[in-house]
Structures are given as C-alpha cells and as structure tokens.
Structure 1
C-alpha cells in the first residue's frame, strides 16, 4: 500500500493509504526480500504484520518498522474492498488454529484508498460537503465527531474526525483525487 499526505499540514502523518501500490517493482521486491529475511530469522510463519519502509536518497529500501498487526487507518478494510482479501478473518482463524489461507485469495481487482477525515480549519464542526460526485465512491464511513463539537485543523492523527474507504475506477483517478481529497471532501466549520 502507498501512503498519501497533506503536505500543507504535516508531511509525515498519513491521511490515507491506497491499494494497489504504484511503487516500482524493484523496490517492492527488495522490501519483500528484507521483510522475509526478518520473518525467517524470527521464525514467523503466519499472522498479520504491518511494515513501513522508505526509499532513501541512496535509492535503497530502508525498513522502518515491522509490527505484529494488520495495520491502522483502515488498512484491512481498504484491502478487502480493493481485492477481496479478508485480513481480519485470516488473522482470527490463524490465531485459533483454523484454516486461514482461503481468506488471503484475491476475489477481484480493484482500486481503493482509506482516508483519515480531517479539517483544514479549526472550529465548530457543522457537516461534510462532498464535491465532484466523490460521495458515490465512499464505500465505508465512520465519523467520530458530532455536529456542534470542536475540531482542530489537521496536524497529527488525533485531529481526525473519522475514516473512510473510497473506491476508484483506476489508479490514475485514485492518485488525482487523493492528491486533492481535502477539496473533494470538505469539512465545514463555523
């Protein structure tokens, strides 16, 4: 999965993650090789793992984190909407010794992204306005704030108002819309 950021607010806090990845194959293969080596050395055979890496100025993959979890920011949900892989069911079955591999088989090819809903301005939350038909693409939404509650301008993850999973017709549409998602999903404040 690839991360999306609001560079105006915080270039390090992700505002969404998308599937499939558009990174070059050489980086994905290098990351997979390094992570497999870590799993082999630890004797890890199954279970959900979240990992993060960067491509350095030296054009090499550097592993930042490997954690025993499926990931946050709606990663399991986004993957399931995009390709049908059910990471949550697979993890539960693996933990109790049941067959889990059937949940890891893609059932379709799609494009989806999670979105950490955030406001560009601080104030009193008064609603969400959708633009350019993006509301029809939202397949999952959880809002943690109620109208009338205070919201902060986005700087860190704690400033979020909720999360969404959004489907796209193709990777090009996803990259375009995620690059301006805060204009398409406008948090209204007063």
Structure 2
C-alpha cells in the first residue's frame, strides 16, 4: 500500500507545525520549494524537500504527477499566501479538496479586494490606486493626511507605512519605487485613509467564525505587531457584529473554504475592514488560539485538506496572548538569555526565538523586526498579561550596533 503524503508548497512561520501536525496525522510531509536551503532547520523532522519552480504551475503539476506515481497524495496545501492560489489550481487538477484559486487571486490583490468589498457596502477605508509618485501625492491630497501607503500585494506589513506629512509621503514613495522594495509584479501602490480605532481580527475556518482577537502595534509610522490577545474583550453584540461583517466579506470575495483571517479597526462607523487574508494567520496566532480555546487550527486545516471530518468545538475557555520580542536597534545579536527561565513560569505556553546569536539584525519596520515571542494563557486577561510581563522581563539580549561608515 502506497504511503500517504501531504504536499506542502513553500511555507512561512508555521511550516514546522504543519510538518509536525501532518506526521501526527500519520502523513509523510513533502515540501516543494524553489529554495530548499531555507528549510534546513527541518532536517531532524524526517521531511522530504524537493527543489521545484513553485512559480510555475506546469512544473508543480509535473512534480506532483511524479510523486503521485510513488505515493498516495492525501492532500496539497501551503502555509504561504503567495502560493495559495497555485495550491488551489493543483488541488483542482488532481481532484483534491482545496480553495477556489480565482477567489484567492482576487483576494490577494488588495485593490480588487477593496473594490469587491465596497461593491456590497462593507465598511472599508477610503482608498486610491497609484502607479507613480504623482498618483500617490494626488491620492493623498484627495483622501487627506495622514494616509496609509502600501503595496497592492504582499503580506507581513512589508512596505506598509503611515505617512503624516508630505515629506514622509515622498520618502516612502521613493522607497517603494526606488528599487529597495521587492515587487513580484509591476509596482501598484494603495493609498488609504488611516482608520482610527482599536485593531481586531477574526479567525475563520470554512464559514465558521472561531472568534475575534485584538492586537497592538509598536510606534508609528510602522506596523510591527507587539501583542496578540484572544479572545478580544468584546460584548456579545460587538462580537456578533464583527462576525456578521466577517461572513459578509467571505460572500463578497467568494471565500468560505479553509482558513481566513480578517483584520479590522473599530472606528466611529463600527468595524471597518482593513484586510482579508485567505489563509491561516502566521505564528504565533494559532498557538494563542489553541491556548485560549483548545482548537488546533493547523490540525483542523490539514483534516480539511485531506477530506477528513474536522472539529472546531472548544475544549477550554481561557485568555491566550502573545508578546513579541522586538529588536531595538540594528547590529549583531551578541547574546540572548533567560529563555529557559521564562519558559518555566506557570502559564507560559511557548517561548520561541527566530534568530540565533552572532546573526546580523537589520530592522525593516515590519514582521522581520521581531526576534521571538512568548505565548501565555490563564483564566483571566489580567493574569495572562501578568504572566507575559514576568516572562518577557526575564529575557534579555545585547545587540552591538554596526560600525558607522568609515570606521574599521
């Protein structure tokens, strides 16, 4: 009998957990990647990694057909937004459960997403599409400063900035169009109204809203996540409203299979949709959700992918939260200490580092500024925050700044 395999097309921060969840489910994980060296950290996990051009659907079909002759392919998925539409096409080709690729592509184009949401009356910020510096300046004048300026495609807050003055607007436009930002297609910039209010997100599987969380960012003009809390401190009526808007987004975008996460700002108009992401949230959100309510989003996603019965029933009711360890300067990480002591505190669920000592750190004003996280859970929000504070206070590190230009 052929071995059952789960094919993972590229990955992100959740790749290790996808691999482990697949193995726990009796599946042999196989990763298809254009750059297998990025998964060297999985060497001890008995995972097969195959080099293939993951931007080419023909190359992927050819490789999956070869594997199909050797194994029993139980499912194909991805932990990465950039390849999720391609996964949908692969699933369709091999007659496996998967997302609608056309819906994923529309959703990943933030301008098209905005148009579709606006078309059915879902509250969103005012927005304009720009292709050059003149367009950006005109759009900002029409909307009114401050504005959010960001690429029309991408994730992880890369290239996203709050611009409060014409100088900041010109500086960030130059950054985006001047060769520093990596574009996967022709440059297209979204200029958006800055929606003021607390930030929330909903976690969805299929057409079921699992719950809503809240998050906080570091100082502007960047949007570097500093903390997640789940569930958010919302009234029943507020939770029902945010869930209803979430389901309206799924209908407007043709989603409703697999995981989705939706970001909001709660403004004077109520919940305003900032972004719909047709994928599972990156780490440590699944860990926070599982710590809070007992639902393992990755495992349930895998069950969906391979056609098994999935289960979103809550097994506990706690407040889960994560706090990020954020680099305070550019330079070389000399040392980081206190991780084991922090992990030993009752209520701490996970302490994870993203970088090792002696590695260079260059802050980008996005997710790459984070060097690790701590996840905790307890019966009350206040206690969870106290646990997180105690744990993060124990972790310390030293970064030696890079020499100034001209120094030796």
RMSD: 3.0
Q: Deviations over 1:104-163 (max 9, x none)?
A: 111111222123321224443211347x96751432233222122233568421112133
Higher Cα radius of gyration = 2
Counterpart in the other structure of 1:2: 214
Which protein is richer in strand relative to its size? 1
How far apart, in 2, do the equivalents of 1:20 and 1:3 lie? 10
SS of the aligned residue for 1:161 comes to strand
Alignment map for 1:144-155 (pairs within 5 Å) = 144-152=354-362, 155=365
Q: Match for 2:230 among 14, 19, 35?
A: 19
Is 2:128 aligned against 1:128?
Answer: no
How far apart, in 2, do the equivalents of 1:46 and 1:140 lie? 29
Q: C-alpha displacement at 1:33, in angstroms?
A: 0.8
SS of the aligned residue for 2:398 comes to strand
SS of the aligned residue for 1:70 comes to coil
Alignment map for 1:86-105 (pairs within 5 Å) = 86-100=296-310, 102=311, 104-105=312-313
Counterpart in the other structure of 2:242: 31
How far apart, in 2, do the equivalents of 1:82 and 1:166 lie? 9
How far apart, in 2, do the equivalents of 1:112 and 1:97 lie? 29
CA change 1:27–1:128 in 2 (3 A) is farther
How far apart, in 1, do the equivalents of 2:365 and 2:389 lie? 17
How far apart, in 1, do the equivalents of 2:374 and 2:221 lie? 19
Counterpart in the other structure of 2:124: none
Is contact 1:73–1:163 with CA below 8 Å preserved after alignment?
no
Q: Deviations over 1:71-123 (max 9, x none)?
A: 123111111122210111111111222101x2x11111122212332122444
- Of structures 1 and 2, the one with the larger relative CO (CA 8 A, separation 6+) is 1
TM-score normalised according to structure 1 size: 0.79
Is 2:265 aligned against 1:54?
Answer: yes
Is contact 2:342–2:351 with CA below 8 Å preserved after alignment?
no
Which protein is richer in helix relative to its size? 2
Is contact 2:317–2:379 with CA below 8 Å preserved after alignment?
no
How far apart, in 1, do the equivalents of 2:342 and 2:287 lie? 22
Q: Which moved more, 1:111-120 or 1:169-178?
A: 169-178
How far apart, in 2, do the equivalents of 1:171 and 1:33 lie? 25
How far apart, in 1, do the equivalents of 2:355 and 2:254 lie? 42
Is 2:372 aligned against 1:162?
Answer: yes
Any stretches of 5+ residues in structure 2 without a counterpart?
Answer: 1-212, 401-408
How far apart, in 1, do the equivalents of 2:381 and 2:359 lie? 35
Q: C-alpha displacement at 1:165, in angstroms?
A: 1.9
TM-score normalised according to structure 2 size: 0.40
Q: Which moved more, 1:140-149 or 1:36-45?
A: 36-45
Any stretches of 5+ residues in structure 1 without a counterpart?
Answer: none
Q: C-alpha displacement at 1:48, in angstroms?
A: 0.9
Q: C-alpha displacement at 1:67, in angstroms?
A: 1.6
SS of the aligned residue for 2:292 comes to helix
How far apart, in 2, do the equivalents of 1:18 and 1:11 lie? 20
Counterpart in the other structure of 1:188: 398
Aligned length: 185
Q: C-alpha displacement at 1:166, in angstroms?
A: 2.2
Q: C-alpha displacement at 1:49, in angstroms?
A: 0.7
Q: C-alpha displacement at 1:41, in angstroms?
A: 4.4
